Amino acid sequence: MKVLVTGGTGYIGSHVVVELIKQNHECVVLDNLSNSNESVLDSVKKITGIRPTFYKADMLDKAALGKVFEQNKFDAVIHMAGFKAVGESVEKPLLYYRNNLDSTLNLALCMKKYGCKNLVFSSSATVYGKPESSPVNESAKLSCANPYGWTKFMNERILSDICNADKSMNVALLRYFNPIGAHESGLIGENPNDIPNNLAPYLIKIIMGELPKINVFGNDYDTPDGTGVRDYIHVVDLAKGHIAALNKLATNCGLVIYNLGTGKGYSVLEVIDAFSHAWGKQIPYSFAPRRAGDVDLYFADPSKANRELGFKCEYNLDDMARDSVNFALTLKKARQKNQ
Ligand code: NAD
Ligand code: UD1
């Protein structure tokens, strides 16, 4: 298949591109590089031998997007471009609604105009808000706690309505749980420029020597060790889930919704332990108050993706920690060499 990957130089996008190429799909990457770097494609080439065609374009720019569709006949689009920082979305809601909604609307218009019928969309477990219980399945009640979450909720709504109105459209809404880890080569992974809000990139910065210690937000949750429990999924497993979803779309399935998670929850302390073990050194941490908006525990019921896509995660927490540490140390070495 010829696949357009929006947000393809980003953290998850770059891993999806690698898996697409490995499965012999033709990949075209579109990104405005607002949160990534074009050099990621050199790493993709090192891993796969292929540097995909790249368009530096903003999805808000209708003309630029139209040109990409004019020049290519896509069988499917994997739409991952978007802003994702929860705190920033609370401070700048307009920026988030505009970027995350207009990009999808512009894309849907182009797909309609150029007859592209298959779309995989990056949604998030954030659409479950504070789940009443775990494991959470796809029919759980939806509710969101911040503008970022609402953009995912609204995008799901928009794409569902488009699918309902046009029976020839196929859309997979993938609700990611907590993607962490990196490609085993250490060449691609998540490394934000600013101080990270999320757990794994924060630990990566500590291993790189850029941050001294981590604050564990809350140790009085109703969980076995008192710290928050999440369903961490290796980014390579997550990427493979996109290929499985593309295969599903090829069966003309209409709208489908899948959780992508492992079905297992790990606490913050368990994650810190796994990273410390993989690093061979204790990650320094101290306890801090709970973070506003955090939930004590949630993890996926992944059985629908398992049943309908044949999708099952292969990597466990130790694998995620090993590959994250390898990525951090590879990056640190490359930076030292360039100094
Ligand atoms: P990322 O920031 O690394 O990648 C997103 C990419 O989109 C970036 O390369 C950015 O430059 C690009 N982008 C943003 N706005 C754009 C625009 N208007 N036009 C073109 N490119 C644009 O983030 P990620 O972690 O790879 O996330 C990918 C998708 O998955 C996002 O939609 C995110 O909301 C969703 N998601 C991520 C997580 C997570 O924990 N990482 C969890 C659930 C869902
Ligand atoms: C967060 C977002 C969620 C988003 C997801 C992926 C919030 C409230 N939720 O999820 O909407 O979909 O990222 O982008 O922001 N932790 C620490 N110290 C840290 C960082 C995190 O103890 O410095 C803890 C958190 O309290 C939580 C766990 O680690 O218990 C995981 O946190 P994080 O990686 O931010 O993911 P989520 O909170 O699950």
| 203-254 pLDDT, tens digit each | 999 999 999 999 999 999 999 999 999 999 999 999 999 999 999 999 999 9
Residue 191, pLDDT score: 84
User: How far apart, in whole angstroms, are the C-alpha atoms of residue 134 and residue 297?
Assistant: 8
Mean pLDDT of 177-190: 98
- Ligand 2 close to Cβ of residue 268 (< 6 A): yes
- Ligand 2 close to Cβ of residue 230 (< 6 A): yes
| 314-329 pLDDT, tens digit each | 999 999 999 999 999 9
Residue 335, pLDDT score: 87
Residue 67: what residue type? K
Selected residue with higher pLDDT from 123 and 132: 123
Mean pLDDT of 28-56: 97
Rounded distance from Cα 158 to ligand 2 centre (Å): 26
Contact, 155 vs 139, CB < 8 A? no
Residue 104, token pair as written in the block: 């999808």
Selected residue with higher pLDDT from 132 and 41: 41
Residue nearest (by alpha carbon) to ligand 2 atom 27: 228
For residue 147, pLDDT beyond 90 = yes
Q: Which domains, from first to last, does the chain contain?
A: 2-338 (3.40.50.720)
Percent of the chain with pLDDT over 90: 94
Residue 313, pLDDT score: 98
For residue 262, pLDDT beyond 80 = yes
Residue 219, token pair as written in the block: 């140790």
Residue nearest (by alpha carbon) to ligand 2 atom 2: 86
User: How far apart, in whole angstroms, are the C-alpha atoms of residue 231 and residue 175?
Assistant: 12
| pLDDT band for position 30 (cuts 50, 70, 90) | very high
Rounded distance from Cα 282 to ligand 1 centre (Å): 31
Which of 48, 68, 50 has the alpha carbon at shortest distance from 58? 68
| 288-297 pLDDT, tens digit each | 999 988 989 9
Residue 36, pLDDT score: 96
For residue 192, pLDDT beyond 80 = no
| pLDDT band for position 339 (cuts 50, 70, 90) | confident
Residue 112, pLDDT score: 98
Which of 120, 11, 113 has the alpha carbon at shortest distance from 63? 113
- Ligand 2 close to Cβ of residue 262 (< 6 A): no
Residue 180, token pair as written in the block: 């962490």
Selected residue with higher pLDDT from 157 and 194: 157
State the catalytic residues.
Answer: 148
Q: Which ligand is nearest to the CA of 196?
A: 2
Which residues on adjacent β-strands are paired with residue 338?
A: none
User: How far apart, in whole angstroms, are the C-alpha atoms of residue 170 and residue 168?
Assistant: 7
